[in-house]
């Protein structure tokens, strides 16, 4: 059982599209529109990589990361201007994806954290 | 025809005649001895006595008589008539007077010069009066000619009688063309008919009219804005109208300039707000774009794999996202438009509240601020929707800046009809820290801000208030509310 990719975004259509793309490529993915639900899942399950939207109601990606005790590969996904600044200097942030990113970029990034197909 | 009288009677007649002459008059013989004189003769020479001088010579009575006079006497005795209408004379006692005098010979029965007659009249008072009148007239003439204010006298029927140069310059006609040739009505555009009637009525009842702003049609066909004031006078039992005419061209230009600057300031403030909101706006647009990108990728895969269901889902998602992005851009375009391009129209309050919330939504959501909306009014106001939306966006942005970081963070926007008054009240409340007391009166001043450098221009509230006031309303901080509450009230249009 491969560890899934976790995608957290308050925009349901983005969760659905991500499911469709990763699913089509045979990658397991769990999506959450509620950041608290996403946080609970990551704490309770092994995951390959977390992609988290920056700006969400009730908490943003950095706040969620702060509450996450475990160390996991963590990418901030954002449509904000000046996204890099958001993550600057935070050692727990693995990287940043800027919306609207090409689908291929997400696939490549995700695949880098999956065990190579055997 | 002459009347024959006895000599003694003639003598008496002559004496009485001369006595009562109402000026200084005297008759002399060839040796300049007094033959007769009027009652005023001695006094006119400064002699208040009533001595009898008949038989004495003029020079015995008045030894100080100057040589020029003696010369006049000689010439008179030689047969010459001399007169002067205005002779400036300094008397021995220092008095300065204007005299009118006449020296003429009288002839005896043989035609020889029997002596001279001297008449003198003190015309000092007349001269002074004349000089005062001349001065007065000259002052008034100068005033009329030099006045930078137009002056015009006209008949009740509107015919111009007298116009000063300033007025002629205003209307562009010459004195010959205007006075006696043109009427007030010929140069007044018809659209002022109603206003003219009102001014005439005021003139009739109060004898004055104005201040009255209108236009005249100049000789070259252009119109010139003017302000008139006037009053009635009676001149030789005719009623005439004096008017003072101010050229308002410069003032109008200034007013236009001020209005343009005001509109520029509103636009600048709005664009500054948009700049501050840019991050939230970018997010709003990037989400739909990301959806489109990911679903397009999915669609590609679905087409390749013959998966119609997924293809349809992808297409639906793309279109929904495109539509959403379109609405956001439309909202921004509407908001960015210059309000001066909009004529005043009916503005629905609930619509502009919705619009303002839409523009601010992204920022509010991202900062974990709960927004409550309570709109019960269906009122409309008259004005510019964009400007009023700008005011609400300003208040919402300020509320967001205050509520962010507050525990709990919330904003409430309400819009209700005011009881007992034709007003609607829109209020924005936030859970942020209360404004310090000394800031409360200053917040509406230009360039005042409690925000850190780079977080706000400080123009928002001063411009917002000026917009609201231009709409006939008020914008205030509600000091009585338990939280920070800004309330704007606008007069409602009842249609």
From residue A82, how far is each of A68, A93, B93, B161, B285 by CA, in Å?
24, 15, 106, 77, 15
Using one digit for the tens of pLDDT, what is the confidence trace for B360-393? 887 777 677 889 999 998 899 999 999 999 999 9
From residue A67, how far is each of A36, A62, A81, B35, B440 by CA, in Å?
10, 9, 25, 141, 39
Cβ-Cβ contacts under 8 Å for A106 (sequence gap 6 or more): A18, A21, A51, A97, B294
Q: In this predicted structure, what is the pLDDT of residue B65? A: 84
Q: In this predicted structure, what is the pLDDT of residue B33? A: 94
List chain A residues with CB under 8 Å of B323: none
Is B366:B283 a contact under the CB 8 Å cutoff? yes
Q: Which residue shows structure tokens 């007025």? A: B167
Q: Which of B422, B442, B351 is nearest to B388 (CA)?
A: B351
> Can you read off the two tokens belonging to residue B265?
């300031």
Nearest Cα residue in chain A from B316:
A13
Q: How far is B363 from chain A (nearest CA, A)?
A: 9
Tell me, yes or no, if the two domains B7-127 and B260-491 fold the same way: no
Q: Which of B260, B163, B272 is nearest to B219 (CA)?
A: B163
Query: Which DSSP helix (H) or strand (E) runs through B251?
Result: helix B249-276
CB pairs under 8 A between A and B: 84
Res B455 pLDDT > 70: no
Res A117 pLDDT > 60: no
Third-level CATH fold of B260-491? Heat Shock Protein 90 (3.30.565)
Facing residue for B290 by CB, picked from A14, A20, A81: A14
Label residue B26 left, alpha or beta by phi (over 0 means left) and psi (-120 to 50 means alpha): beta
pLDDT grade for A118, boundaries at 50, 70 and 90:
very low
Q: In this predicted structure, what is the pLDDT of residue B452? A: 61
Instruction: Give the pLDDT mean for B117-144.
Output: 92
List chain A residues with CB under 8 Å of B293: 100-103
The alpha-helical segments, DSSP class H, found in B182-222 are 193-206
pLDDT grade for B28, boundaries at 50, 70 and 90:
very high
Cβ-Cβ contacts under 8 Å for B201 (sequence gap 6 or more): none
Using one digit for the tens of pLDDT, what is the confidence trace for B133-160? 999 999 999 999 999 999 999 999 999 9
> Can you read off the two tokens belonging to residue B25?
């008059």
Q: Which of B246, B244, B214 is nearest to B229 (CA)?
A: B244
Instruction: Give the pLDDT mean for B19-46.
Output: 91
The domain ranges of chain B are 7-127, 147-247, 260-491
Structural domains in chain A, sorted by start:
5-111 (3.40.50.2300)
Q: Give CA–CA dist B237/B101, Å, rounded.
A: 39
Q: Give CA–CA dist B53/B34, Å, rounded.
A: 7
Cα(first)–Cα(last) distance of chain B, in Å? Answer: 101
**Mean pLDDT for chain B overall:** 89
List chain B residues with CB under 8 Å of A36: none
Facing residue for B286 by CB, picked from A18, A24, A99: A99
Res B44 pLDDT > 90: no
CA B490 distance to own-chain centroid: 30
Res A1 pLDDT > 90: no
Q: In this predicted structure, what is the pLDDT of residue B4? A: 82
Q: Give CA–CA dist B418/B406, Å, rounded.
A: 30
- Interface check A79 vs B, CB under 8 A: yes
Is B292:A100 a contact under the CB 8 Å cutoff? yes
Across the interface, whether the CB atoms of B290 and A59 are under 8 A apart is answered no
CATH for B147-247 is 3.30.450.20
From residue A78, how far is each of A5, A32, A82, B144, B271 by CA, in Å?
17, 16, 9, 78, 24
Using one digit for the tens of pLDDT, what is the confidence trace for B324-371? 898 888 888 888 887 766 788 899 999 999 999 988 887 777 677 889
Res B484 pLDDT > 50: yes
Is A25:A36 a contact under the CB 8 Å cutoff? no
The Cβ of residue B108 has, within 10 Å, a number of other Cβ atoms equal to: 11
Q: Give CA–CA dist B259/B263, Å, rounded.
A: 6
Facing residue for A55 by CB, picked from B283, B292, B298: B283
> Can you read off the two tokens belonging to residue B115?
């002596």
Instruction: Give the pLDDT mean for B407-420.
Output: 91
Using one digit for the tens of pLDDT, what is the confidence trace for B182-194? 999 899 999 999 9
Q: Give CA–CA dist A42/A65, Å, rounded.
A: 11
Q: How far is B286 from chain A (nearest CA, A)?
A: 5
From residue B488, how far is each of B396, B438, B462, B478 by CA, in Å?
13, 21, 13, 10
Is B101:B75 a contact under the CB 8 Å cutoff? no
Q: Give CA–CA dist B147/B52, Å, rounded.
A: 61
Q: In this predicted structure, what is the pLDDT of residue B10? A: 87
Is B269:B338 a contact under the CB 8 Å cutoff? no
Is B31:B57 a contact under the CB 8 Å cutoff? yes
**Length of chain A counted residue by residue:** 118
**Mean pLDDT for chain A overall:** 88
Q: How far is A81 from chain B (nearest CA, A)?
A: 6
- Optimal mutation site among B279, B282, B294, B322, interface A, most CBs of chain A within 10 A: B294
Is B97:B122 a contact under the CB 8 Å cutoff? yes
Could you tell me where the beta strands, DSSP code E, fall in B140-207?
Answer: 150-155, 160-163
Cβ-Cβ contacts under 8 Å for B56 (sequence gap 6 or more): B33, B34
Looking at domain B7-127, its CATH superfamily turns out to be PAS domain (3.30.450.20)
> Can you read off the two tokens belonging to residue B409?
């963070």
């Amino acid at each position: 059982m491969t560890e899934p990719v976790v995608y957290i975004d308050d925009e349901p259509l983005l969760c659905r599209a991500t499911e469709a793309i990763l699913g089509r490529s045979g990658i397991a993915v769990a999506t959450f529109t509620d950041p608290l639900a996403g946080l609970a899942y990551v704490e309770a399950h092994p995951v390959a990589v977390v992609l988290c939207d920056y700006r969400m109601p009730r908490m943003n990606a950095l706040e969620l990361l702060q509450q996450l005790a475990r160390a996991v590969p963590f990418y901030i996904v954002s449509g904000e201007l000046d996204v890099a600044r958001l993550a600057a200097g935070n050692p727990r942030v693995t990287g940043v994806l800027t919306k609207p990113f090409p689908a291929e970029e997400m696939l490549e990034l995700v695949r880098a954290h999956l065990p190579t197909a055997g | 025809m002459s009347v024959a009288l006895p000599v003694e009677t003639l003598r008496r007649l002559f004496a009485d005649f001369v006595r009562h002459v109402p000026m200084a008059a005297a008759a002399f013989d060839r040796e300049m001895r007094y033959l007769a004189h009027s009652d005023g003769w001695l006094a006119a020479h400064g002699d208040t006595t009533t001595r009898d001088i008949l038989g004495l010579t003029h020079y015995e009575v008045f030894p100080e008589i100057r040589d020029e006079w003696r010369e006049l006497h000689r010439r008179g005795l030689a047969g010459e008539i001399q007169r002067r209408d205005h002779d400036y004379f300094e008397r021995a006692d220092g008095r300065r007077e204007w005299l009118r005098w006449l020296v003429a010979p009288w002839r005896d029965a043989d035609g020889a010069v029997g002596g001279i007659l001297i008449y003198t009249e003190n015309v000092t008072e007349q001269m002074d009066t004349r000089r005062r009148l001349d001065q007065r007239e000259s002052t008034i003439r100068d005033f009329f000619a030099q006045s930078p204010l137009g002056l015009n006298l006209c008949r009740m029927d509107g015919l111009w009688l007298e116009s000063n140069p300033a007025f002629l310059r205003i209307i562009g006609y010459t004195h010959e063309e205007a006075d006696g040739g043109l009427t007030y009505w010929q140069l007044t555009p018809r659209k002022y008919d109603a206003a003219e009637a009102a001014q005439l009525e005021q003139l009739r009842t109060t004898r004055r009219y104005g201040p009255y702003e209108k236009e005249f049609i100049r000789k070259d066909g252009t119109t010139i804005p003017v302000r008139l004031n006037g009053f009635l006078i009676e001149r030789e039992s005719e009623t005439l109208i004096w008017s003072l005419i101010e050229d308002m061209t410069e003032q109008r230009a200034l007013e236009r300039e001020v209005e343009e600057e005001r509109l520029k300031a509103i636009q600048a403030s709005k664009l500054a707000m948009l700049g501050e909101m840019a991050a939230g706006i970018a997010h709003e647009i990037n989400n739909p774009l990301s959806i489109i990108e990911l679903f397009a990728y999915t669609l590609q895969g679905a087409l390749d794999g013959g998966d119609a269901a997924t293809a349809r889902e992808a297409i639906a998602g793309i279109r929904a996202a495109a539509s959403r992005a379109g609405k956001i851009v439309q909202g921004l375009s509407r908001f960015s438009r210059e309000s001066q391009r909009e004529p005043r129209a009916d503005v629905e309050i609930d619509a502009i509240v919705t619009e303002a919330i839409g523009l601010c939504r992204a920022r509010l959501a991202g900062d974990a601020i709960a927004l409550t909306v309570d709109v019960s009014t269906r009122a409309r106001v008259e004005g510019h929707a964009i400007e009023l939306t700008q005011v609400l966006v300003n208040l919402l942005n300020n509320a967001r800046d205050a509520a962010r970081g507050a525990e709990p963070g919330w904003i409430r926007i309400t819009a209700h009809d005011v009881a007992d008054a034709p007003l609607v009240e829109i209020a924005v409340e936030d859970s942020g820290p209360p404004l310090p007391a000394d800031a409360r009166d200053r917040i509406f001043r230009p360039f005042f801000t409690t925000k850190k450098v780079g977080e706000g221009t400080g123009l928002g509230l001063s411009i917002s208030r000026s917009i609201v006031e231009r709409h006939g309303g008020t914008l205030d901080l509600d000091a009585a509310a338990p939280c920070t509450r800004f309330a704007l009230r606008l007069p409602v249009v009842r249609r």
